[in-house]
Amino acid sequence: MKKYLLLITLIIPFFHCAFQDSTSKPPEPESPIPVSRFEQLYSEKALGCHVENGNFVFRLFAPRATQVKLALFKAPSGPAHETVFMQRDSSGVWEAEIDKRLWGKYYGYYITRDEEHTSDYHENTLIPDPYSRSVSTQNNYHINARSYIHKSDFDWGNDTWATPGDPRDLIIYETHLRDLTAHPSSGCEDPGTYAAFKEKIGYLRKLGVNAVEFLPLQEFANIEIPYRDTGTEVYNTWNPYERNHWGYMTTFFFAPENYYGSAGNMEPDAYISDEGRSVDEFKDLVRSLHDAGISVLMDVVYNHTSTYDPHPFKLIDREYYYRLDGDGNYTSVSGCGNDLKTERPMVRKLIVESVLYWMREYHIDGFRFDLAAMIDDETLRTIIREAKKVNPDVVIIAEPWGGGYCPDHFSDLGWASWNDQFRNGIKGQNPHDRPGFIFGSWDEGVTRKNAMRFLLGSLREDGGQYREAAHSVNYLESHDDHTFGDFMRLHLGINGGDDIITDPLSHGKLSPEEMRYHKLAAFMLGTSQGICMLHSGQEFGRSKVIEINHVPDPDQGKIDHNSYNKDNTTNYINYEIVRQNRELIDFYGSVFRLRQVYPQLRKAEREHLRPYYSDSEFGIGYHILPGNGDENELIVLVNGSADRDAAWKLPGGMWSRLFSTHPFGEERVINTVTLEPSCGVVLIRR
| pLDDT > 90? residue 20 | no
| pLDDT band, very low/low/confident/very high, at 121 (cuts 50, 70, 90) | low
**Residue-range domains of the chain with CATH:** 17-148 (2.60.40.10), 605-685 (2.60.40.1180)
The pLDDT > 70 percentage for the chain reads 95
Single-letter residue type at 18 = A
pLDDT digits (tens, 9 = 90+) for 593-607: 999 999 999 999 999
d(CA 295, CA 364): 8
pLDDT digits (tens, 9 = 90+) for 503-535: 999 999 999 999 999 999 999 999 999 999 999
d(CA 390, CA 299): 19
DSSP reduced 3-state for 285: helix
Spatial strand order in the sheet of 135-138: 82-85, 65-73, 106-113, 146-148, 135-138, 271-272
Helices (H), ranges, 330-464: 345-362, 377-390, 407-412, 420-426, 448-455
pLDDT for residue 26: 80
- More confident site: 9 or 405: 405
| pLDDT band, very low/low/confident/very high, at 11 (cuts 50, 70, 90) | very low
| pLDDT band, very low/low/confident/very high, at 199 (cuts 50, 70, 90) | very high
d(CA 428, CA 424): 4
The secondary structure element, H or E, covering residue 7 is helix 2-18
Give the β-pairing of 211-214 and 619-624.
unpaired
Q: Provide the greatest CA pair distance for the chain.
A: 103
d(CA 485, CA 589): 18
pLDDT digits (tens, 9 = 90+) for 314-372: 999 999 999 999 999 999 999 999 999 999 999 999 999 999 999 999 999 999 999 99
Contact of 618 with 646, CB cutoff 8 Å:
yes
pLDDT for residue 293: 98
